[in-house]
Amino acid sequence: MQQETALLVVDVQASVVDWSQPTSEGSEEVLARINELLAKARAAGVPVIYIQHNGEEGGRLSPGSRGWEIHPAIAPVDGERVIRKRASDSFYETTLDEELRARGIRHLIVTGCRTQYCVDATCRSAVSHGYDVTLVRDAHMTVDSETLRAAQIIAHHNETLDDFGNDQHVVTVRESAAIDFK
């Protein structure tokens, strides 16, 4: 599995995590789980790819701002790729697909921020681009909406995305403890 798998860390940026803190239940725990996954992936030689959202100039995700930086609790190490995007879908107008294909990646393990936006869009797009996906059930976060609490949004997406796919590729949802990069 390790030669064909990559760990994808979507939009775990300082201001996104800080913004999630008041409403995303257990965001510190999510960061700890992502860190555990990073350690396991790195130990197994599995590529780690970070996705970093470029927001509007002057906004909280404005490139170069403190809030735009990858959260220091899970920061990349030397040699790990950071791909910048401007849309929810990490594949849209980025080099992600080319990067994955060049490495022979066919399976993505997805963690990250803003469950109903960037995590969801990236999982769905990955399947359409020909990748199998494991969404880590307890390693993504969001904020409350006007309609649902963050925990409800996360639970809904875990349920909705589990077994989502097509005849050839699928999203599977698994707990972080069940992820093995060997």
Q: Which residue carries 């994808």 as its tokens? A: 8
- Separation of alpha carbons 71 and 126, rounded Å: 24
Name which of 15, 21, 94 is nearest 56 in CA terms.
15
Candidate list 37, 48, 110, 118, residue with the active-site label: 118
Tokens found for residue 106? 């066919």
Is 118 catalytic? The answer is: yes
Provide the terminal-to-terminal Cα distance of the chain, rounded to the nearest Å: 7
Cβ–Cβ contacts within 10 Å for residue 114, how many?
Answer: 24
Q: Show which residues are catalytic.
A: 118
